[in-house]
Chain A
Amino acid sequence: MNKYKFILILCLAGFFMGPALANDASLGKKLYEVYCTQCHGMEGDGYGINTPDIDVLPKDHTDTPEMMTRTDEDLFKAIKHGGKAVSKSVLMPNWDANLNDDEIHALVKYLRTLCCTGE
């Protein structure tokens, strides 16, 4: 494959995948707002509207060093099956009946923007 064909393929991939990735990020943000902010806070810092009366402080998703210790697989598992599935608090519920796998993947991507890219 010559370099022009390779560049063309990259451009086409960007053209078609760019909107999909943007949609994914937008979906992840929306789902985070609906299902997560009550406990984890509008800014993801763990100080949501429910936090004052929760016995275990919800995770601060903006804590980069802490979040970097969690793999995407860990985060997916925690969202889908709850905190207990990753040896964390049972107060983190499982969302498997509310969200499908694609939606949970979108949430994981959004979590990475909160914790690790400063976006």
Chain B
Amino acid sequence: MKLHKPMWGLIFLSGLSMADTTSYVAETCGGCHALQEVSKDVDERINRKGSHLYYAGNKYQYEWLEAWLQAPTQIRPGGDYPLNHTLVTEDGDVIEADSLLEHMILDSDQAIKVTDYLMTLTPFNELLEQVDYEPKAISQSAGEMNFVKFQGCQSCHRDDPEYGGVSGPELYTAWNRLQQNYIISYTQNPELWDKNTMMPNRHIKNSALEKVANYLKVIGESHE
């Protein structure tokens, strides 16, 4: 694993105001994460090194983000741009795990301050307000059938640590990581959130979309 350049500035983050946190985040996270909206440009996707954070407050769950910053794990098995980590072998293409970037670790105070700040970034409230979703209980096997066979999500996403595609973020912790309405809205219209997304808009009808989210709930709760 390669280690991100240390964010030395954050060592001094404790005791600083929100304004100070803003500048620290811009200085130390901005190199890999977009903190402002980006234009449509495929090169932006190719050069991306981290998830967009300018709508972090519309996307992540506070508790998850605060905990993750203190003990980061690999969300994207293929990295933020899989081609940068792909090796062609005689057995087919594979991800070169050693080339994946490892996120830096924050201490508790730093994680709280950074999370507090990131959760203020909410440019897409309107998209979330359009969602009308109430989770429902479904069987894991029925949800899996929809996820794998009908919607084809597993082609790019893992719904189990050992199974599924590696080009997209793993989804077995998505329920704990992401806000429920974000899951619905992003899956329905990914290009409205991320102009350069590699996720297709499958034009999924609401009932099928809710089944996907309900399945993420089932598998997410089993990974808590």
Contacts and interface: CB of A to CB of B under 8 A. Distances in A.
Interface of A: 30-31, 33-35, 37-39, 41-43, 47-55, 82, 90-91, 93-98
A94 B165 CA distance: 18
Contact of B92 (A47, A90, A91, A94): A47
Given A33-B46, A49-B95, A55-B149, 5 more contacts: A38-B82, A39-B167, A47-B91, A54-B155, A98-B201
Contacts of B201: 94, 96-98
Contact of B83 (A37, A50, A95): A37
B148 A55 contact: yes
B45 interface: yes
A43 B86 CA distance: 12
B203 to A, nearest CB: 7
A5 B155 CA distance: 55
Contacts of B45: 34
Nearest to A45: B92
A116 B114 CA distance: 52
Nearest to B81: A34
A53 B148 CA distance: 10
Contacts of B91: 47
Contact of A50 (B150, B155, B191, B203): B155
B15 interface: no
B155 A49 contact: no
Given A47-B92, A51-B92, A53-B164, A94 B82 contact: no
Given A34-B198, A37-B83, A43 B42 contact: no
A54 B189 CA distance: 24
A61 to B, nearest CB: 14
Interface in B77-117: 78, 82-83, 86, 88, 91-95
A50 B167 contact: yes
B191 A49 contact: no
Q: Which of B42, B45, B93, B203 has the most CB of A within 10 A?
A: B93
B125 interface: no
Contacts of B200: 82, 93-95, 97-98
Contact of B93 (A35, A47, A82): A47
B149 A53 contact: no
Contacts of B82: 38, 49
A97 B191 contact: yes
Contacts of B202: 82, 93-94
Contacts of B150: 90
A48 B154 contact: no
Contacts of B42: 30-31, 34
